[in-house]
Structure 1
Amino acid sequence: MFKKLSALYTLIREDLRILGFALRHPARPVWLLPALVALGLYVLSPIDLLPDLVPVLGWVDDLILVPLVIAWLVSRLPVDLRRAWQDARRTVDAPAVRRA
């Protein structure tokens, strides 16, 4: 069970990095910022599909729905933007080391 949750966390973390890159990229789609704002409002909103007052089900819908929406948003990104993310991952932005 812990391995599955760890793998899910790794996937979500990678998807969030891709979305963060896409937000800063000049060729980002117009719909991306409103979609992420709407997702953030859903996460913070007291209005839910299943209220959080229901002991376990209130959190389970957020744990399932939010990663699914994040993955869907990443899948809707243009191919060029995803390719730019892969290229940016391969480059190293480390400062030059001065040897004395």
Structure 2
Amino acid sequence: MFKRLTLLWTVLRGDARQLWFALRHPDAPGWLKLGTALIALYLFSPIDLIPDVLPVIGVVDDLVLVPLAIRWLLKRLPPEIAQAAASRRAG
């Protein structure tokens, strides 16, 4: 489990940090918090689309779906929150 999280964090570092800063923004919408909670629930849930017990392919669904979901949320941010989160991420 820890190895999977380490690999996922390496892949997602930039988008995950931007999402974190967007969540901490005072005007962060409720749908952003709900979407992030659902992503975290999927990531930590033992129930996956493809079971993790299958070598390689079991982790691939996490490595594909989670980044896509995070990117999807980030693209729907209000412009002022997206800009503030991007500037915090860069700095």
Larger Cα Rg: Structure 1 or Structure 2? 1
Higher RCO (CA 8 Å, separation ≥ 6 residues):
2
Q: TM-score, normalised by structure 2?
A: 0.77
- 1:38 aligns to what? 38
Residue pair 2:49, 2:61 contacting (<8 A) in 1 also: yes
Q: Deviations over 1:37-91 (max 9, x none)?
A: 1111101111100011212211111111111111111111111111223444577
Tell me the amino acid that sits aligned with residue 65 of structure 2: L
User: How many residues are aligned here?
Assistant: 82
1:65 aligns with 2:76: no
Identity %: 50
Q: Structure 1 or 2: larger helix share?
A: 2
- 1:23 aligns to what? 23
- Note the residue ranges of structure 2 that are not aligned, 5 or more in a row: 1-9
- Note the residue ranges of structure 1 that are not aligned, 5 or more in a row: 1-7, 92-100
Q: TM-score, normalised by structure 1?
A: 0.71
